[in-house]
Amino acid sequence: MKVIICGAGQVGWQIARHLSRENNDVTVVDKDETLIRRISEALDVSGIAGFASYPDVLEEAGAKDADMIIAATFADEVNMVTCQVAHSMFGIPRKIARLRAQSYLDAIYSDLYRQDHMPIDVVISPEREVARAAMRRMEIPAAFDTERFLDGEADMLGISIAEDCPVINTPLRQLTELFSTLKAVVVGVQRKARMFVPETGDQLFPGDQIYIITAHSDVPRTLEIFGKTRKKGERAIVIGGGNVGLDVAQKLESGERRVRVKLVERDRDVAERAADALERTIVLHGDGLDMELLEEANIENTDALLAVTDDDKTNLLSCARAKAMGCPLVIALVNDPSLANLMAPLGIDAYINPRTTTVSSILRHIRHGRIRAVYSVGDAEAEVIEAQVMGTSVLAGKTIRDVDWPEGAKVGMVMKNGGLHVPRGDTKLEEGDILIVFALAADVPRVEHLFQVSPEFF
């Protein structure tokens, strides 16, 4: 597949890394020559320095025979015009744009993206993706990472194994025997900076970060087995009143649980706009690092604090301070993945990486075969893939043990005729079955190939 990626920032870089690793023909366009030189040297991609919306630049990038264009520059208008030029001048069949401005995302203006108007096939909003990720963390505070699959029937949980975990030093096969009715599978383990897919004889140790696929109805029981509690918060403080903070506050105050929210924003104009847009949320003008302000917001009696400003250091320090002041759950928005190692020393329970959420959204729309959902794990070290078995794929009619799975892949759950099943070696895969597969990054292409069918599905 020939793909043009416009924008060599964090999102563009990760998408280019994913696609080039899978032997796609990738060209990256960015106006910054330094970024282009860096990405061309680091990845197996072509680089073009220039403005992505210029027809001559797109033509140089190979737009005449490109299969897809992903417009992920920092400017919404550039991304929109790039898709328009790609459609009108070159007939590129698949166009994905990253848009930030809320006005462009309003449902009442969705007709704007029709083929005869502004032809964009898929619109990705980083802010909305981050807000959704924040809400998922709030729903399951004991997990450092979560994602929903199978139309809400299954969850992926990232859990840190503590010293008091009841099942440490226990082979995974014994867990299956002890909890035979539990629909949960440990599919990945991060141990001392190494990610791997565990065997049935492997044990879990304190300090491990594990990834579990579980039925949504079994989430409370799964958390309990691994030594975690599931307490639902009733009071929350949001630090940052920008697009992300505002979206999070709106979702919290209008959700089923109607969480009582206080929002802290240091820019007076932004705070006033947030106050006008929110109904039940108390908006405080001030700095989220101010201890007196946190005390005024009653931090010691707050169930959760979410720091979602556009500054990583502010988010980390706000969370560390809130934790020290007695807040049981703190969640930080962190753009720089290299800062993830600071989470544990600072006592931060979970973090959200906008790049990961955006990359996962884009990957969902560019995979081959019957790929229904994709979620990028860690620093793009692995992917959780939801895919459907087609009648003409190599999986149909085989048992799981008879499939030539790569070493770094594991099936976490199977949905048959609407029912969830824990995968066994003798589980027969049939047309229409939907699988959740955890795969290390190097093995994603082989997993994807197993689900591929005839060219009309590409």
Residues 243 and 135 occupy one common structural domain: no
pLDDT of residue 367: 59
pLDDT of residue 231: 67
Residues 118 and 65 occupy one common structural domain: yes
Q: Is residue 427 assigned to a domain?
A: yes
Residues 349 and 366 occupy one common structural domain: no
CA 343, CA 350: separation in Å to the nearest integer?
8
Residues 363 and 342 occupy one common structural domain: no
Query: What mean pLDDT comes out for the span 404-410?
Result: 95
Residues 303 and 388 occupy one common structural domain: no
Q: Is residue 392 assigned to a domain?
A: yes
Residues 436 and 449 occupy one common structural domain: yes
Residues 158 and 102 occupy one common structural domain: no
CA 30, CA 73: separation in Å to the nearest integer?
8
Q: Report which of residues 233 and 416 the model is more confident about.
A: 416
pLDDT of residue 458: 40
Tens-digit pLDDT profile for residues 72-88: 999 999 999 999 999 99
What is the count of structural domains for the chain?
A: 4
When mean pLDDT is compared over 6-15, 52-61, 360-369, the highest value belongs to 52-61
Q: Is residue 94 assigned to a domain?
A: yes
Percentage of the chain beyond pLDDT 70 is 95
Residues 29 and 105 occupy one common structural domain: yes
The residue from 196, 225, 254 where one domain ends is: 225
Residue 108's pLDDT band, with cuts at 50, 70 and 90, is low
Residues 18 and 118 occupy one common structural domain: yes
pLDDT of residue 109: 65
The residue from 354, 387, 415 where one domain ends is: 354
Q: Report which of residues 183 and 15 the model is more confident about.
A: 183
Residues 7 and 111 occupy one common structural domain: yes
Nearest residue to 136 via CA among 127, 153, 128, 148: 148
The residue from 124, 152, 184 where one domain ends is: 124
Q: Is residue 187 assigned to a domain?
A: yes
Q: Report which of residues 347 and 434 the model is more confident about.
A: 434
Residues 207 and 262 occupy one common structural domain: no
Q: Is residue 308 assigned to a domain?
A: yes
Query: What mean pLDDT comes out for the span 324-346?
Result: 85
Residues 260 and 325 occupy one common structural domain: yes
**For residue 246, what is the domain's CATH number?**
3.40.50.720
Q: Is residue 440 assigned to a domain?
A: yes
pLDDT at 111 over 90: no
Residue 179's pLDDT band, with cuts at 50, 70 and 90, is very high
Host domain of residue 36: 2-124
Q: Is residue 446 assigned to a domain?
A: yes
Q: Is residue 230 assigned to a domain?
A: no
- State CA 71 to chain mean position distance: 19
pLDDT at 48 over 80: yes
Q: Report which of residues 114 and 223 the model is more confident about.
A: 223
Nearest residue to 378 via CA among 139, 140, 158: 158
pLDDT at 267 over 60: yes
pLDDT of residue 361: 78
Percentage of the chain beyond pLDDT 90 is 59
pLDDT at 415 over 80: yes
pLDDT of residue 399: 95
**For residue 145, what is the domain's CATH number?**
3.30.70.1450
Please give the C-alpha separations between residue 121 and each of 84, 103, 316, in angstroms, as whole numbers.
11, 18, 36
pLDDT of residue 375: 87
